[in-house]
Structure formats: C-alpha cells, structure tokens
Amino acid sequence: MSREKIISENRAWIENTWKKLDEKLSKTAVKSRYKIPYSTKDGVHDDRSDDILWWTNGFWGGLMWLMYIGTQKDCYKRTAEESERLLDKAFGDMQNWNHDVGFMWHILSGVNYRLTGNRQSKNRNLIAAMSLMSRYNVEGDFIRCWNSWIGNENVSGWTIIDCIMNLPLLYWASDEIGDTRFEKVAKRHADMTMRDHVRADGAVNHIVVHDTEKADTVLGVRKGQGYAEDSCWSRGASWALYGFVLSYIHTKEQRYLDTAKRVANYFLAETEKTGWLPRLDFRQPETPLYYDSTAGAIAACGLIELSKHAEEIESEKFFSAALNILKAMEQNWCDWTEQEDSVLQMGSEMYTNGIHMPIIYGDYFFVESMLKLKGCEFLVW
C-alpha cells in the first residue's frame, strides 16, 4: 500500500488529533507564554527560565513555531517570539554552553529566521553554530558533548548519541554562510557516531569515551540514561534513527541512510513486542515495565522522513510503523483535558530517575510528527 493510501485511510484520525492539539495548545500558548516549560506539576507547566542553560529550553518555543506553521495563528507566533527573548539570558553565560545548542536554538531562532527573515534570530543561530564548531576536537576527531560537571570526572573525551541531532545546525550554517567547514565537521562527527555508537544489530551505545589526542580510539563505553552499558536506551536509539536520516537528507551520503535503516529495523522489532509503545530500554528487565513516550515521538518523526527516502516496500513498513506508534500513544498516553498543560504523558528521563512523566520534547516531537502526517514539508532540522 502506498504512503498516500495509508494517509487517506487514516485521514479522519490525523485531522481529529490535529484539531485536539490545536484546541488544547492554543489555550496553553497563552497560559504559559512567559514560561519556559520542561514538565508539569499538578497539571501546570513548570518554568525553567531560572535554569537558562537547560538543554530542553528551545522546545517550548519550537513547539509554538510548529503550531504556527500548521495553523497560522498569531497566539503561537507570539509565544514562540517571547520564548526566544527569554532564552537570550543564556548569552550571559556562554562559557557553560554545551553541545545541545542545536536543541536550544536551531528549532527556535533557526525556524524564526527561516519563516520571517528576522536578522537577530539568524545571528543567534549562527552564534550557536559557531559555538558547536568550537567543540570539535581536531586530534580526537569528534565533537565534545559536555563540560566537566560530573563530580571531578574528566569528560573531555566523551561523546553521546544525542549529538547527532545537533548536527543539522552545522549543515544549516554551512549553507547559510557558504562555509563548508561546518558541514565537514558535522560529517566527521556523524562518521564517528556511525562507527562507535551504532552496534551491528542497530542498537546504540549512549556514551562513548575517546582518546582526546588520537582519532579512532575508543577507551570505553558508559551506561548513561539506559539500563546498562550493553543495553539499549530507547531514546538514544530514536535520536540515532532521526539524526542519521537528517544527516542523509543534508549530505545525500548513502551510508547515513543505511545506518538510519539499521537502527529503525531494530527499534521497530523491539517496539512491536509491546503493542507499539516503546519501553525505556529495550534490554531492561521485564519488571518494572518502564516506558518512554518521547522515544516513540522522536522515532515517529524519523520513520516518516525515512519512508520518503527508502525503497517502496521498506517505505510502507516505516510509514505504517510511525502511524502505529503515534496511534498507540494517542490512545494510551495523551491527556486532552484542560486540567493538564502537557499532552503526551509517560516520558522518562532515565532508568534511575524521572519515570513516566510529561516532558516538553515529547509534546514537541508528537506535534512535529502530526504536522508531517498532515503533509507539511517544512523540515525544521
């Protein structure tokens, strides 16, 4: 069955879900306009604007731009612009920025610039891209992820799978200012990620420790947010899935598409086992049964994009799987009431902490995937 046929068979569900999103989010857009939400407490959005460098601080404004793209309603645009203004406080502490500047600015200022031509937004995004470039370790041949905040541990050789999602910021800068060094560094990091983070079966390592003075030298693997060092954290797999499709779209390098497919096949085989609702870690013990809705929403975005670039038979498989995940999550995990500011519940921060809670990027990627299902071709990343 073609993608078009699958869409037409699911048209009523897609339109109805979008209507519910707009009904709920148009109210929340006004209610939470002067906050930078991360989660909710007793149903009310919290506010991370005092912790301005928190890596998720671009998602609320980014979500507002997605809703604006899908509806053209001014309430969303106003909140997105306010969010970008609030995030400017981060420019007062640039020494402590980390690799997550793509998550923070590319989906917020980057989108503002591309939609409205706002020069200040362009500059914010360029500064973010230059900051990410400055984290490239020339001898080790990777982008450093974090600064030293884990006790006294030296993390200068650490890379994490999540960074693959920050690379579109570099692809954008490369095109925007016509300086291909940005794309070249992104590709060096993507190649390292392919080699050192993605396993033969499509599972992924969250954290890899490298020699900072010598390229292609892995010193070890760390557990990170999943169950164990050799398990597979599902959000990490979803970052890899979507991130490699995006690297393929921006570079047209076949190896990135092949890697995305390998991760997708692993993700789908594991997620189908639990009725298309992703567990937090695909190799966690059977009990407690922890889930993570954010992994499902991120993977759905990646699968929809992947279906546009895969051969016909695989295309249908990836597209149907995205729909299966989104429909299962809508049925089981979405809260459409006015008593709760977030939509998607059952996100999980990590195996040891923050289980089954709403997390802002769950809503962000759920909306991004629904916008794609509605036929929107604007690629945020």
Residues contributing to the site for ligand GLY (CB under 6 A): 55, 162, 225, 235
| Contact criterion met (CB below 8 Å) for 67 and 367 | yes
**Shortest distance in whole angstroms from residue 136 CB to ligand GLY:** 19
Contact present, 68 and 76 (Cβ < 8 Å): yes
Distance, in Å, from the CA atom of 197 to the CA atom of 239, rounded to the nearest integer, reads 11
Identify whether the C-beta of residue 270 lies closer than 8 Å to the C-beta of residue 282: yes
Q: How far is the CB of 89 from ligand GLY (least distance, A)?
A: 21
Nearest Cα residue to 6 out of 316, 306, 374, 368? 316
Complex with ligand GLY: residue 81 or 162, whichever CB lies closer: 162
Give the chain's end-to-end CA distance (angstroms, integer).
28
Comparison of 163 and 245: residue with beta carbon closer to ligand GLY? 163
Cβ-contact 84, 108 below 8 angstroms: yes
Rank residues 84 and 162 by Cβ distance to ligand GLY and give the closer one.
162
Tokens, residue 215: 């390229």
Q: Tell me whether residue 208 or residue 323 sits nearer to ligand GLY (CB atom).
A: 208
We find the least distance from the C-beta atom of residue 196 to ligand GLY, in angstroms, to be 18
Residues β-bridged to residue 347: 357
* Shortest spacing between CB 225 and ligand GLY, in angstroms: 6
**Alpha helices (H) in 32-118, listed in sequence order:** 59-71, 74-87, 101, 109-116
Nearer to ligand GLY, 24 or 235 (CB): 235
Q: Map tokens 């007793």 to a residue.
A: 42
Tell the smallest beta-carbon distance from residue 112 to ligand GLY (Å). Answer: 22
Which helix H or strand E contains 208, and what residues bound it? strand 207-210
Helices (H) and strands (E) counted in the chain, each on its own, are: 14, 7
Q: Which is nearer to ligand GLY, 248 or 351 (CB)?
A: 351
DSSP-derived 3-state class of residue 190: helix
Residue with tokens 């601080």: 57
Residue nearest to ligand GLY (CB): 162
We find the least distance from the C-beta atom of residue 55 to ligand GLY, in angstroms, to be: 6
In the complex with ligand GLY, which residue's Cβ is closer, 81 or 100?
100
Q: Residue 296: which residues within 8 A CB-CB, separation 6 or more? A: 238, 271, 276, 277, 278, 325, 326, 328, 329
Q: What is the DSSP letter of 160?
A: E
- For the bound state, the minimum distance from the C-beta of residue 19 to ligand GLY, rounded and expressed in Å, comes to 30
Q: Which tokens in the block code for residue 19?
A: 């209507």
Residue 13 CB-density burial (10 A; 0-12 exposed, 13-18 middle, 19+ buried): middle
CB of 320 to ligand GLY, least distance (A): 26
Distance CA 325, CA 302 (A): 12
Three-state DSSP at 291 gives: strand
The amino acid that residue 162 corresponds to is D
CB of 162 or CB of 368, closer to ligand GLY: 162
Nearer to ligand GLY, 203 or 323 (CB): 203
Nearer to ligand GLY, 225 or 342 (CB): 225
Helix (H) or strand (E) holding 203: none
